[in-house]
Amino acid sequence: MFIPKRILFMKGSLDYQVGRQIHAYFKDNSKVEIIELGNHGIKKNIPGDDISEFYRHGKRTLVVGIRRGMKFQSCKPSAHYQLPLLSGCIGQCEYCYLNTNLGDRPYMRVNVNVDEILEQAGKNIEERLPEVTIFEGSATSDPIPVEPYTHSLKQAIQYFSKTEKGRFRFVTKYTDVDTLLDVNHGGHTEVRFTLNTDRVIQDFENGTPLMSKRIEAARKIMSADYPTGFLIAPVFLYDHWQDDYKNLLLELKDIIPKNTSYPVTFEVISHRYTPRAKNIITKIFPDTKLPMEDEERTYKYGQFGYGKYTYRKEELEEIKSFFKKEIPAVFPDGVVKYII
């Protein structure tokens, strides 16, 4: 669970139940600074003289605010819309795309007007009838670490359980799932866990749980009969990488339930980076050991109009070949959604 160093309450946020329950949860904790703001002033209340220092203080900051605009961003290809319950992540993964996407907003932000957000989701569902509409709850966040005191995910899961044509999904590296285990989800919410080898977690995923802890949280979620998937990402190539990723799959098989109502799904993404991301990463983590040697990669233009450095064609084929063989071998009934 995320215990912030400081909480910034934006104007009006304490008028909502979520805002009040966050305040009540932390008001007697002498180690948490509580600051009530107007509509602005977030950055000046987060210390830091340079991007690296500001990033680290930002990662210990929780902003409690109100979502004003109700036009949801698209979230292709994984979902139709983002569900903007919150943004940010407490992890300090050196490769993370949020270092670029959120830029100078490294803090966690919780939107307290959950009822209004879910009401808009209902309107979006109605507009697409009779098709099913899928909402992604973690496009720019990892929502689990704040769930024990926000209960935003619980509220969303309960809402979507009652919709015939609405579906919800989110992904996490974290383990604070206990408050979700007794929720009536109706099979309409898919929970995915991001996994990686112990070496990758130790080298690059600062402030995140060990792989074994994530798998244990996944076991709990699957035992609560949620549709469950695993995101193996980003895949790095290093000496004996095949052995490590094979052991990951085997450990997963040993711990999660054998008989589930829904097939286990897998998504596999190889490491890639943009020139802008590399520039930001090296400023935030000047001692990073991330493999970002441009001359060892292939530069490709992506669907969003900017380019990225990926592994070379033969290396990508090696990754695809490995996981196409090993996932079905370990999980014969599993579903591999994509390997990229």
Quick: pLDDT tens for 192-207.
Answer: 999 999 999 999 999 9
Q: Report the number of distinct structural domains present in the chain.
A: 2
Residue 304 lies in a domain: no
How far from the centroid of its chain's Cα atoms is residue 217's Cα? 15
Q: Looking at the structure, do residues 167 and 186 belong to the same domain, yes or no?
A: no
Q: Residues 158, 188: one domain?
A: no
Asked if 118 and 201 sit in the same domain, the reply is no
* Strand runs labelled E in 83-126: 86-87, 92-93, 108-111
- Range of 319's domain? 182-271+311-340
| 89 and 58 assigned to the same domain | yes
Mean pLDDT calculated for residue range 29-58: 91
122 and 56 part of one domain: yes
Residue 276, domain member (yes or no): no
Q: Are 194 and 326 in the same domain? A: yes
pLDDT band at 302 (very low <50, low <70, confident <90, very high): low
Domain match, 165 and 266 both: no
Does residue 190 share a domain with residue 167?
no
* Residue 326: Cβ within 10 Å count: 16
Q: 215 and 168, same structural domain?
A: no
pLDDT tens-digit map of 121-151 = 999 999 999 999 999 999 999 999 999 999 9
152 inside domain: yes
Residue 296 domain-assigned?
Answer: no
Name the residue among 113, 153, 134, 161 with its Cα closest to residue 12.
113
Question: Which class for 65: exposed (0-12), middle (13-18), buried (19 or more C-beta within 10 A)?
Answer: buried
| Greater model confidence, 76 or 299 | 299
User: In the prediction, which pLDDT does 105 show?
Assistant: 87
Cα 98 from Cα 101, distance rounded (Å): 5
CATH number (domain holding residue 315):
3.80.30.30
23: how many CB neighbours lie within 10 A of its CB?
17
Residue 300 lies in a domain: no
Domain containing residue 65: CATH number: 3.40.50.12110
Three-state DSSP state, 152: helix
DSSP state of 322: H
49/152 same-domain check: yes
Examine the domain organization and report whether 199 and 224 are in the same domain. yes
Clarify whether residues 17 and 166 are in a common domain: yes
Q: Which two tokens stand for residue 205?
A: 């995923």
